[in-house]
């Protein structure tokens, strides 16, 4: 059976641990210049409905490192941009390539694609989740804190795709997450319910100071995600008081790190002194997209998994 990563909960805790260990190994090999062409002859198609810097570069370089090829496909230039059905595109691409990564406006688009695809499908960001980001974030957290079990994450800001994947990931990692969002911008109730039913420890409030208290990881993201640009002014007003500044960081644990998936907006969700300060790990986090996704690609597209891959 082919495996997909549409949600961070598509993998088990044991698989997550294995992926992070493998990512650390691949990082070390890359730094030491040791070849690791584990996916020779494989091709990853990357379909983008929205802009990207990190996701595009890290998947493309990742496939090159692994001895394969990545195809960048702008959805607007494809026939899906002119109305060809997703289910037809999915079946056609399954005949050409070994895996597909999609960044789409609607999560349902990626789900429909995966239903018709006979090769692994990776969610490269939707309106609901950003699982690849969270793989890299967990890797970064483990680089700093090892496998400590007492970690607390404070998410301050929009209850968006990255926040949702962070919340769901607590089911796999055992970390506790405290979310502070303005009223009307909380994570969806369905995400909170799923996480709690599966044993995740999530609390929700509207007070950043409360969420930040003693946190080991302070995380935020843009207030204006792709697809919400028409709400920009109202959002910037609603999020006033939710900027992470030095004073906010001081409420967290003295060992706290600052995380942001990037792109960042200095002066909005984070202040210069924090993102450029000593506790910021944002560039390690961005780098780890590459290593974590390479481990994921090998897991989903490598020979051993027995998927119906076409070389
Ligand atoms: N963090 C992230 O996914 O960045 P891009 O939008 O640049 O891919
Ligand atoms: N929440 C942001 C993440 C960008 C990587 C967005 O969806 O635009």
Give me the pLDDT at residue 308, please.
39
* Options 42, 54, 142, 289, the catalytic residue: 289
Ligand 1 centroid to Cα of residue 311, in Å, is 28
Residues in the chain: 311
From 165, 154, 264, 167, select the one nearest 211 (Cα to Cα). 154
| HSE (side-chain half, CA atoms, 13 Å) at 175 | 28
Ligand 1 pocket mutation pick from 55, 122, 290 by most atoms within 8 angstroms of CB: 55
* Options 103, 142, 152, 216, the catalytic residue: 103
pLDDT in tens, the chain (311 residues): 899 999 999 999 999 999 999 999 999 999 999 999 999 999 999 999 999 999 999 999 999 999 999 999 999 999 999 999 999 999 999 999 999 999 999 999 999 999 999 999 999 999 999 999 999 999 999 999 998 989 999 999 999 999 999 999 999 999 999 999 999 999 999 999 999 999 999 999 999 999 999 999 999 999 999 999 999 999 999 999 999 999 999 999 999 999 999 999 999 999 999 999 999 999 999 999 999 999 999 999 997 544 433 44
From 221, 132, 141, select the one nearest 175 (Cα to Cα). 141
Quote the CA–CA distance of 296 and 89 in Å, as a whole number. 23
Contacts for 225 with CB less than 8 Å, ≥ 6 apart: 127, 158, 160, 161
| Residues in the ligand 1 pocket, defined by CB under 6 Å | 52-55, 125, 133, 261-262
The DSSP output letter for 231 is: G
Residue nearest to atom 1 of ligand 1 (CA): 261
CA angle 94, 98, 101 (to 5 degrees): 85
Ligand 2 pocket mutation pick from 55, 225, 265 by most atoms within 8 angstroms of CB: 225
Ligand 2 pocket mutation pick from 49, 105, 167, 221 by most atoms within 8 angstroms of CB: 221
Residue nearest to atom 3 of ligand 2 (CA): 225
From 89, 79, 114, select the one nearest 5 (Cα to Cα). 114
pTM of the model: 0.97
All domains of the chain, ordered by start, with CATH?
Answer: 8-130+289-301 (3.40.50.1370), 133-286 (3.40.50.1370)
Quote the CA–CA distance of 225 and 208 in Å, as a whole number. 20
Quote the CA–CA distance of 138 and 144 in Å, as a whole number. 10
Quote the CA–CA distance of 304 and 19 in Å, as a whole number. 14
Catalytic: 221? Answer: yes
Q: Is 293 in the pocket of ligand 2 (CB under 6 A)?
A: no
Catalytic: 132? Answer: no
CA angle 267, 270, 272 (to 5 degrees): 65
Catalytic: 130? Answer: yes
DSSP letters of 152-176?
A: EEEEES---HHHHHHHHHHHHH--E
């Amino acid at each position: 059976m082919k495996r997909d990563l549409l949600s961070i909960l598509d993998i088990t805790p044991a698989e997550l641990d294995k992926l992070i260990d493998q990512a650390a190994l691949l990082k070390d090999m890359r730094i030491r210049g040791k070849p690791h062409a584990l996916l020779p002859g494989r091709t990853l198609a990357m379909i983008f409905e929205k802009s990207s810097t990190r996701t595009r570069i890290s998947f493309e370089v990742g496939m090159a490192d692994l001895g394969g090829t990545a195809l960048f496909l702008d959805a607007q230039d494809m026939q899906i941009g002119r109305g060809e059905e997703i289910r037809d595109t999915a079946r056609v691409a399954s005949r050409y390539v070994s895996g597909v990564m999609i960044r789409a406006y609607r999560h349902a688009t990626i789900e429909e694609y995966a239903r018709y695809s006979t090769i692994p499908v990776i969610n490269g960001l939707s309106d609901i989740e950003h699982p690849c980001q969270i793989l890299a974030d967990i890797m970064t957290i483990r680089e700093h804190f090892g496998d400590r079990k007492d970690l607390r994450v404070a998410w301050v800001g929009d209850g968006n795709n990255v926040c949702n994947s962070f919340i769901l990931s607590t089911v796999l990692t055992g970390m506790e997450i405290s979310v502070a969002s303005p009223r009307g911008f909380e994570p969806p109730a369905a995400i909170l319910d799923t996480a709690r039913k599966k044993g995740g420890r999530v609390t929700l409030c509207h007070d950043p100071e409360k969420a930040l208290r003693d946190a080991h990881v302070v995380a935020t993201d843009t207030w204006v995600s792709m697809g919400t640009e028409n709400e920009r002014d109202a959002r910037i007003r609603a999020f006033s008081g939710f900027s992470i500044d030095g004073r906010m960081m001081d409420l967290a644990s003295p060992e706290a790190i600052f995380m942001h998936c990037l792109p960042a907006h200095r002066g909005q969700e984070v202040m210069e002194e924090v993102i450029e300060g000593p506790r910021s790990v944002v560039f390690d986090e961005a780098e780890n997209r590459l290593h974590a996704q390479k481990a994921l690609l090998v897991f989903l597209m490598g020979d051993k998994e027995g998927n119906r891959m076409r070389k």
